[in-house]
Amino acid sequence: MKTNHLNTCPAPICAEDTTPSEVIWRPGEAVCTKSPAQPFQKKQREINKLFGAGKWKFHDPDDWFTKDDLEGKTSRRV
């Protein structure tokens, strides 16, 4: 039996989600592992690397992002 990635993905924003613009993600949270990586996944990994190293100083730790924010499709700066 084939498992649907969306049903097992631990990330708030999954590459297979049909409504990712309505879901929020915070620095430090899981990133979807679906391949090939989409632009929002690459940005999340970049942010998590900085966040994990204690170098994420541009935003409040409680800040959140949507898929559109992460892909630069909104006016919010990431």
Domain assignment of residue 46, given as a range? 5-70
- At residue 25, the 3 state secondary structure works out as strand
**Which residues does 65 contact at the CB level (< 8 Å), separation at least 6?**
24, 25, 26, 76, 78
Q: Is residue 9 part of a domain?
A: yes
Residue-level pLDDT at 1: 45
What is the arithmetic mean of pLDDT over 16-40? 89
Q: Is residue 77 part of a domain?
A: no
What's the pLDDT tens digit per position in 35-65? 999 999 999 999 999 988 988 776 665 688 9
Structure-model confidence comparison of residues 3 and 72, the more confident one: 72
pTM of the model: 0.82
- Angle, CA of 35, 41 and 44, to the nearest 5°: 150
Domain count, the chain: 1
CA separation, residue 54 to residues 41, 51, 58, 61, 63 (Å)? 20, 5, 11, 11, 15
